[in-house]
Structure 1
Amino acid sequence: MKKRSEAKREAIIEEAARAFRESGFDRTSMSDICARVGGSKATIYNYFASKEELFAEVVMRSTEASFQAAHHAITVSPADIGGSLRQFGERFLAFLYSPEVQATRHMAIAQSRHSAVGRLLYEHGVTRSHALVSGFLERAMEGGALKKGDPAVATLHLVSLLESELLDRFLYQLPGEVTAKEIEEATGRAVDVFMAAYGSAGGTKES
């Protein structure tokens, strides 16, 4: 029975993903998804409380591998704090400024005033990312690689610095791809500023 339930849940997610890709969030209804999956809407609501919750699951599934790859650099011991932050920053920005994630972020911002999509994606994505970064920075502070401080605040500073040169382009949806060279250079400058504020004179080396 459990296997059948899991299979049904996976089928719902797969069909929902196709529907959202083809018609977008606004033009896709739970009835549309139900018609694709078969059965009643009540069955879908047994697995997902709302279209917003289902959409958030679809997004997280589609970006999980990239999310994990982006955060891999901060799941290891912060022996080389500068190098780790540069590696993380480049992967993180490449993830955030990929076409798929940019489109999802734009949609979440647009929907956040009148649906729960923005909140759900924030909770499942941004909050999770910040927790991973904060844990890394806390370990670096405890190990003397960074000055002692509030790791949650330091995380906000780091993420803001990483996005500082690209955020306006994203918010105003200016045309043009964010290149790997731009990401590398923006990350280097952001980490330099972060280390100038948080770097410990007795800490480990930067790269």
Structure 2
Amino acid sequence: MTPEDLLSQYGKHFEGNMNPHTRNIRTSKESQQKHHCTECRASPKKSCYLKFHLCYCLELVPESNKPGASMVICGERFGLFSPKGCYTHPYCHGGNEVFKNLKLGKALDHVESGPHIHFEAKTEEDEEDRKEGEFDMAKWEQKQREKEEQRILKKKKDGEAMKQNAALLKSHKSHKSRKPQQLAGKCAGFASKRK
């Protein structure tokens, strides 16, 4: 693999006069805050990406939340020498292994990586398939989509639980904030109704 092969994985938004403040190269979303290149200690330029001071995440993710969505690169920017890599997909996930090897000083031509040619077994079943030479990329991509869908569902459930907890806390606080006279009046009214 050559540096040009690696840079070609970034897609059409990296070609030509790309904006060096692009936060996500796949979506071409620009960063709201202007960050600096950690190596040059200056405002980033395209050369910072060509020298791999800054990188874009190559981990495969589903393009949408719909079943059967195609797999695309994450595309989030990170500094090569950041301890973990991409915030969402750290080096240990495997999709950015080529950057980890760059960080360790290994030559690119000895690295078999990138989203379309790299495979790291995530489960024992995947490892067995890889050893037997029966690895099915479509099957693996489907599993990745299912995992992503499960993660999204869990996130939604967690959000709903947080809303319920916030509502309970709010009602508890409003009850506590009432003045003793208000509570006494309500209690007195209740007592007079019982007689």
Structure (1 or 2) with the larger CA radius of gyration: 2
> How does the TM-score come out when normalised to structure 2?
0.25
Give the helix-richer structure, 1 or 2.
1
Give the strand-richer structure, 1 or 2.
2
